């Protein structure tokens, strides 16, 4: 971050990355029904073009040794001391995200062509998707926290619109509102952090903030760090704001894949990684990040074990995996690269898993209950293969994507070489075992066992327009980890951002860690087979279950906690405020008015109508004036 080059060549055109999807969204939204026939193609084309441009930009960036390129666009806000210049920063970190967003985004756009083929709102869907891609690119490309915030709110809006895409379903509308409101809670934190930067540093650009953040008091830096973390938690579905993410699965499956698995929910990780210079100065906030990550990791994994809705299981898996990423970036310099690598590989295999789930739902007439699946492996061979590869990558099967990146995180946790390191590493390993359990359970219930389909279902493989993206993402699931960690290490690529990768002094040899993780995952798989695969899966969920299962089914009562801690007190507060408003404020105002009215009607009695009374008053006044004059002159 120390030096930037003025953007020239293709990098000068990097604003097109945002402009292309934005233009696509504008054309589709303003064009109306005229664009119905080719709208989805335009939407896909803009994102595809953005991907190509991003590739070229990245190549140029690599050519200049990853020196960040700063693109000045225009003066956004200029009032008094407040001077916000809208600009883009294309550096290795942005480049990684841009490639992920446009790459996975392109694939999911292509997939959506098939998935939404029969939906009357397909044009609207692609418009929102394009809007999302534009906002997400602004989020990662902006060169200041304000630009990031604009993108942040933009993706929040797109997320809301897409969750509520089938807005006639009450569930979708409610889920969208829930997501929006819980995101607002986080956004308040982000906004407050930016306000503090304004007030204390007078700037919000990354360069300005990171250059002078060291001059602030420790408490202020911690406050900024914690507020940024609150924003990140809201956007990434981390504890305590994790409850919205599973509900967000009410949206179309490509949305779940793109926004609520691969890209938007990882914005929190991006924010913390981007703000690394701030977190480097505040161990307190960093410790909180660690705690949040570890806690969320477990919550997501436990809840994922109990749900029967295939998308919700994947959603809790996402929550859990982002917990891993938070854990990684909370570890400090040692973990940034590991967290981002896991973010990228997770983007591939989780998107692939969601697309696979979408394919299954497509085949099963939008059925999401896994208890109604079973034995699908030979009906949906491509889906089974790609889904299975994503599954193996997620549970950390050796030499697939997750193996490299998740193990790196666990290693980094152990590398702290203190009690916390052991604790965090233990949690991460436990999470890996749980992940293996719930994903195996999902696989067994969906693709194996007896066919528990409802009457009249004839599963069929999805068309090529859907399977090809799945295959490509499956290839990513296989190779991304190897490519990012071994072949072209991400650490080297991100060196301009995070500094040179330090040679960690491993407390436990990586091989041992890998063996332990793999062993625990194997135990999880075995447990899943013992509990699910070996036995008949009941079509309806058993009611008499252990308290642990019941708690997991309720996502560890996150919603109940939210309701009892925030919603009901909020309602009470609102009622109390209404009461205060009615009785207190209105009472005061009405009382004042009544008092004025009463006193004026009493004072009005002084208006007797007798001229002589008034004249008496005048004479009295004259006496007072004369006396005052005399007193003044004589005194």
For another protein, which is the closer residue by CB, 283 or 620?
620
Residue 591 Cβ vs another protein, minimum distance, rounded to whole Å: 23
- Under rule CB under 8 A, which residues in 195-214 are in contact with another protein? none
Residues between 416 and 475 that touch another protein (CB under 8 A): none
Instruction: Tell me how far, at minimum, the Cβ of 621 lies from another protein, in Å.
Output: 10
Q: Rank residues 458 and 612 by Cβ distance to another protein and give the closer one.
A: 612
Please check whether residue 454 is in contact with residue 367, taking contact to mean a CB–CB distance below 8 angstroms.
yes
* 378/600 with CB nearer another protein: 600
Instruction: Give 75 or 599: the residue with its C-beta nearer to another protein.
Output: 599
For another protein, the closer of residues 538 and 604 by Cβ is 604
Stretch that binds another protein, among 141-149, 461-469, 563-571, 627-635 (CB under 8 A): 627-635
Nearest residue (CB) to another protein, 547 versus 604: 604
Least distance in Å: CB of 608 to another protein?
Answer: 6
Q: Which two tokens stand for residue 368?
A: 């999401």
Of the two residues 118 and 605, which places its CB atom closer to another protein in the complex? 605
Name the minimum Å distance from CB 600 to another protein: 10
Q: Does 635 contact another protein by CB under 8 A?
A: no
Report the residue number, 505 or 634, with the smaller CB distance to another protein. Answer: 634
Pairing of strands 69-79, 5-6: parallel
Minimum Å gap between C-beta 613 and another protein is: 6
CA of 472: how far to CAs of 56, 105, 110, 602, in Å? 20, 12, 11, 87
Which residues in 567-626 contact another protein (CB under 8 A)?
A: 601, 604-605, 607-613, 615-616, 619-620, 622-623, 626
Integer Cα distance of 311 and 250 in angstroms:
9
Smallest CA-to-CA distance from 378 within 454, 451, 464, 468 is with: 451
Q: Is the peptide bond before 115 cis (omega within 30 degrees of 0)?
A: no
- Report the alpha-carbon distance of residue 76 to residue 600 in Å, rounded: 55
Residues of this chain, 57-86, that bind another protein according to CB under 8 A: none
Q: Token digits for 90?
A: 């294309």
- DSSP H helices, 64-169, are 92-115, 122-141, 145-163
Cα–Cα distance, 257 to 462 (Å, whole number)? 17
CB of 592 to another protein, least distance (A): 21
Please report whether residue 630 would count as binding another protein according to CB under 8 A: yes
632 sits near another protein (criterion: CB under 8 A) = no
The single residue among 32, 202, 219, 627 that binds another protein, judged by CB under 8 A, is 627
Alpha-carbon distance values, 446 to 181, 229, 432, 450 (Å) = 33, 37, 21, 10
Query: Tokens 């938690």 correspond to what residue?
Result: 233
Considering only residues 498 through 527, tell me which ones interact with another protein, judged by CB under 8 A: none
- HSE on the CB side for 260, CA within 13 Å? 35
Smallest distance, Å, CB 575 to another protein? 43
Closer CB to another protein, residue 573 or residue 619? 619
Closest CA to 328 of 394, 439, 411: 411
SS3 54: helix
Nearest residue (CB) to another protein, 78 versus 622: 622
The contacts of residue 136 (CB under 8 Å, 6+ apart) are: 101, 151, 154, 155, 158, 263, 264, 267
Q: How far apart are CA 590 and CA 329, in angstroms?
A: 57
Q: Choose between 544 and 612: whose C-beta lies nearer to another protein.
A: 612
Query: At its nearest, how many Å lie between another protein and the CB of residue 618?
Result: 9
Helix (H) or strand (E) holding 27: helix 15-31
How many residues sit in the footprint of another protein (CB under 8 A)?
22
Burial class (CB in 10 A: 0-12, 13-18, 19+), 119: middle
Residue 12 burial (CB < 10 Å; 0-12/13-18/19+)? middle
How many alpha carbons lie under 13 Å from residue 364 in its C-beta half-sphere?
Answer: 26
Q: Smallest distance, Å, CB 596 to another protein?
A: 15
Rounded Cα gap, residues 213 and 611, in angstroms: 77
Given phi > 0 = left and psi -120 to 50 = alpha, else beta, which region is 458? beta
Residue with smaller CB distance to another protein, 582 or 608: 608
- Which residues are 82's β-sheet partners? 79
Residues across the chain: 635
Nearer to another protein, 168 or 633 (CB): 633
Q: Which of 182, 198, 199, 186 is nearest to 227 (CA)?
A: 186
**Contacting residues toward another protein, per CB under 8 A:** 601, 604-605, 607-613, 615-616, 619-620, 622-623, 626-627, 629-630, 633-634
């Amino acid at each position: 971050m120390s030096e930037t080059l003025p953007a020239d060549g293709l990098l000068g055109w990097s604003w097109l990355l945002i402009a292309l999807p934005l233009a696509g969204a504008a054309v589709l939204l303003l064009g109306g029904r005229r664009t119905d026939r080719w709208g989805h193609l335009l939407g896909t084309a803009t994102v595809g073009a953005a991907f190509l441009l991003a590739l070229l930009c990245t190549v140029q960036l690599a050519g200049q040794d990853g020196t960040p390129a700063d693109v000045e666009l225009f003066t956004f806000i200029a009032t008094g001391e407040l001077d916000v210049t809208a600009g883009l920063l294309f550096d290795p970190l942005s480049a990684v995200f841009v490639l992920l967003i446009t790459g996975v985004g392109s694939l999911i756009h292509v997939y959506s062509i098939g998935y939404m083929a029969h939906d009357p709102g397909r044009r609207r869907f692609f418009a929102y998707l394009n809007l999302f891609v534009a906002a997400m690119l602004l989020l990662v490309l902006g060169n200041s926290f304000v630009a990031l915030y604009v993108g942040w709110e933009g993706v929040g809006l797109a997320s809301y619109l897409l969750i509520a895409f089938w807005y006639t379903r009450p569930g979708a509308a409610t889920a969208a509102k829930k997501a929006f409101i819980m995101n607002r809670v986080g956004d308040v934190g982000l906004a407050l952090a930016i306000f503090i930067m304004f007030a204390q540093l007078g700037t919000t650009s990354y360069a300005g903030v990171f250059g002078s953040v060291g001059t602030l008091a420790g408490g202020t830096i911690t406050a900024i760090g914690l507020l940024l973390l609150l924003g990140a938690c809201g956007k990434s579905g981390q504890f305590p704001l994790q409850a919205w993410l599973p509900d967000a699965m009410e949206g179309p499956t490509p949305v779940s894949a793109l926004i609520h698995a691969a890209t938007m929910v990882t914005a929190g990780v991006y924010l913390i990684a981007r703000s690394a210079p701030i977190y480097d100065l505040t161990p307190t906030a960093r410790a909180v990040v660690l705690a949040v990550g570890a806690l969320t990791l477990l919550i997501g994994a436990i809840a994922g074990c109990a749900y029967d809705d295939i998308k919700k299981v994947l959603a809790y898996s996402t929550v859990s995996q982002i917990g891993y990423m938070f854990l990684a970036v909370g570890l400090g310099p040692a973990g940034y690269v590991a967290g981002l690598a896991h973010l990228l590989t997770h983007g591939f295999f989780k998107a692939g898993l969601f697309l696979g789930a979408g394919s299954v739902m497509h085949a099963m007439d939008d059925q999401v209950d896994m208890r109604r699946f079973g034995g699908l492996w030979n009906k949906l061979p491509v889906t089974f293969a790609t889904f299975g590869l994503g599954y193996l990558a997620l549970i950390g099967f050796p030499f697939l994507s997750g193996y490299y990146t998740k193990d790196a995180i666990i290693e980094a946790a152990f590398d702290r070489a203190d009690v916390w390191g052991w604790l965090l590493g233990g949690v991460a390993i436990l999470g890996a075992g749980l992940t293996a359990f719930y994903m195996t359970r999902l696989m067994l219930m969906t693709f194996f066992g007896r066919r528990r389909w409802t009457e009249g279902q004839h599963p069929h493989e999805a068309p090529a327009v859907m399977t090809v993206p799945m295959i490509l993402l499956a290839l990513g699931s296989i190779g991304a980890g190897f490519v990012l960690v071994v072949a072209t290490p991400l650490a080297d690529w991100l060196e301009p951002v995070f500094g040179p990768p330090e040679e960690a002094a491993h407390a436990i040899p990586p091989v041992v860690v890998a063996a332990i993780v793999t062993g625990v995952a194997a135990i999880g798989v075995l447990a899943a087979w013992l509990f699910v695969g070996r036995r008949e899966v009941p079509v309806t969920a058993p009611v008499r279950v252990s308290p642990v299962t019941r708690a997991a089914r309720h996502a560890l009562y996150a919603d109940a906690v939210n309701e009892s801690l925030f919603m009901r007190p909020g309602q009470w507060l609102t009622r109390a405020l209404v009461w205060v408003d009615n009785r207190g404020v209105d009472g005061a105002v009405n009382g004042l008015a009544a008092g004025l009215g009463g006193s004026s009607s009493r004072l009005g009695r002084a208006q007797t109508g007798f001229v002589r009374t008034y004249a008496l008053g005048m004479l009295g006044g004259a006496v007072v004036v004369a006396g005052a004059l005399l007193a003044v002159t004589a005194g």
